Each structure stands twice: as C-alpha cells, then as structure tokens.
Amino acid sequence: MSIKTFDYKRILKSIMIFLLFMFSSLFQLFLEPFVDFDIYHPDSFQRLILTSFSDLCLLIILIVIYFKTLKDDFKKIKGNFYKFMETGIKAWLIGLGIMMLANVLIGILTPAKSVNEEGVQEMIKTSKYLSIIAIGIIGPIIEELVFRKNFRDLFKNNFLFILMSGLVFGSLHVILSLSSLSDLFLIIPYSSLGIAFAYMYVKTNCIYTSMIMHIFHNTILTAISVFGLGVILW
C-alpha cells in the first residue's frame, strides 16, 4: 500500500466519521414505527428521547470503529492513571480559566447569547437524570472520539491538530445554534476547552485522558444545574 493510498483512505475515513456525527440525528427515523408521537414535532421530553437514541446509536458505531484504540489506550491508562490525570487536570484548569474569563468579557462587552447553553438547560429541566447521562457521559465520549481521536488521525502535526480540534469543536457549539453575529465571540470560550482536551491527548497519547476530563467537566456542570445552583462555568 502506497503512502498516497493510505493518506487517501485515512482522510476519507475521517470525513465519513465527521459526517456521521453531523447527521447522526437521522438515526431517529428508525424509532418512528415504534413510538406513539410525531418525531418531526416532538415536545421537550420526546426530543430528549430522540436525541439520546441517536447519540446512543452513534456511540455504538464509534466504539466499533475505534475498538482497537480504546482497548490499547485502556492498557496505557491502567499503568499511568495518576500521571495522565495530573496532565489532564492541569490542562483542564488552564482551559477552564480561559473559558471563564472569556465568558465574563463577552458578557460585558457584547450581547452574545449561547443558544446551545439554553438548549442544554431545556434538556436538564425536561429530565434531570437522563440529562446527566446524555450530557455528562455519552456526549463527551462521542465528542472525544470524533474531535480528538478522529482529528488526530487526520492531523499528525501536534500544533495543527490541537488548533483544528479545538476550533472546530468550539465553532460547532456556536454556529449550529447561531442567533446573531455577536454569538461568534462564544467560539473563544468553547474552543479554549477543546484546545485543552486536544493538548492533554497529545501529551499522554491516550484518548481516555481527555475523555475522563471531558466527562468530569460536563457532569459537574450538569449536576450544578440539576441541583438548582445555576450554570456558572458552561
């Protein structure tokens, strides 16, 4: 197999996985014959059920695709758990600090509003405990496999990988729910955390590092919201 052929297949695979992520909501169509509501006009709870189902389908597919990586990286983290977590926590704290500072400045200087965050809050109000599973666990695993593992296969240069992984991750959290041009400033706080996750993946060469920290981050913030303390870091 030539290098060109290998590169072509690797790029094609990465694009296909990204498209699978982008259009994963189509999995909801499989539920149509089995539910007694209109999947095209769902209420809040029905929307949560549909979203959870499509995410679960996507997660299963990604686990199958990356089973070898998940198996190999599990061996790595078993022998280096505390070392990897130390790296992960340091990177997360820096990314979190930048995200919080950016959110404060954006809130003061612009009328930007996170529609993505509003959607998350609606999901939490609909079903607290299902939201913890969907937002705190399933979502981070999917995003780490798509934006970290998948992007790492595409970008071998460390700097380019960290930059692209973080920017695309942050941009999609904003652009897919864009309500005004000022909302584009929100790409900065979302990307800062994406860059932190990508950095810890590069430093440890283990997908579980960023996956665990991402799950920790989302679960903590979801729990804060569930228990009525308000979202202060999202």
What pLDDT score was predicted for residue 234? 39
Per-residue pLDDT at 177? 77
Pairwise CA distance, residues 218 & 142, whole Å: 13
- The whole-angstrom separation of Cα 88 and Cα 214 is 10
H-assigned helices in 127-186:
128-133, 139-143, 151-154, 158-175
CA–CA distance, 61 with 7 (Å, rounded to integer): 22
* pLDDT tens, residue order, the chain (234 aa): 444 445 788 899 999 999 999 999 999 999 999 999 999 999 888 888 999 999 999 999 999 999 999 999 999 999 999 999 999 999 999 999 999 999 999 989 888 777 667 677 777 777 778 888 999 999 999 999 999 999 999 999 999 999 999 999 999 988 887 778 888 999 999 999 999 999 999 999 999 999 999 999 999 988 887 776 444 333
Q: How far apart are CA 191 and CA 164, in angstroms?
A: 9
Q: Would you list the domain boundaries of the chain?
A: 3-29+49-226
Please say whether the beta carbons of 218 and 101 come within 8 A: no
What is the reported pTM? 0.90
**Would you say the C-alpha torsion 14, 152, 189, 223 has a positive or negative sign?**
positive
Q: Identify how many contiguous H helices and E strands the chain contains and give both numbers.
A: 10, 0
Q: What is the pLDDT of residue 2?
A: 43
Q: How many Å apart are CA 95 and CA 90, to the nearest integer?
A: 9
